[in-house]
C-alpha cells in the first residue's frame, strides 16, 4: 500500500547534485514525487511509494551524493498525491 513522505534535508545539500542524485535514487527504487531546493539552503522531497522503498530512500538521504554533507534529515508522513514519475521542481 503506497504512502507518502515529506523529507527535509539540511546541511551542504545545494550545489552538490543532491536533487539529481535523489531523482536517480528514487527512480531506481520505483518512488514517485519531486524534490526542490529551498531558499534557506535545504532540499525538500515529496516521495511516494511502498514503505520499504521510502525507508531505503531515507537511508540514502542521510548520506546523499559524494560532495554532500548532510547534517539532518527530517521526515513525516504526508498526504498521498499519486504522482507519476519523479522530477526536480524549480521554485
Residues annotated as catalytic are 19, 37
Please tell me whether residue 75 adopts helix, strand or coil conformation: strand
Q: Are 88 and 23 in contact (CB under 8 A)?
A: yes
Place of cell 515529496: 46
**What are phi and psi for residue 44, nearest 5 degrees?**
-110, 135
Place of cell 508522513: 77
Cell numbers placing 34: 519531486
Amino acid at each position: 500500500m503506497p504512502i507518502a513522505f515529506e523529507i527535509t534535508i539540511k546541511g551542504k545539500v545545494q550545489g552538490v547534485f543532491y536533487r539529481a542524485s535523489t531523482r536517480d535514487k528514487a527512480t531506481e527504487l520505483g518512488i514517485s514525487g519531486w524534490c526542490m531546493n529551498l531558499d534557506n539552503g535545504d532540499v525538500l522531497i515529496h516521495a511516494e511509494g511502498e514503505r520499504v522503498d521510502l525507508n531505503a530512500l531515507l537511508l540514502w538521504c542521510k548520506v546523499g551524493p559524494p560532495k554532500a554533507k548532510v547534517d539532518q534529515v527530517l521526515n513525516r508522513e504526508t498526504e498521498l498525491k499519486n504522482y507519476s514519475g519523479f522530477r526536480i521542481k524549480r521554485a
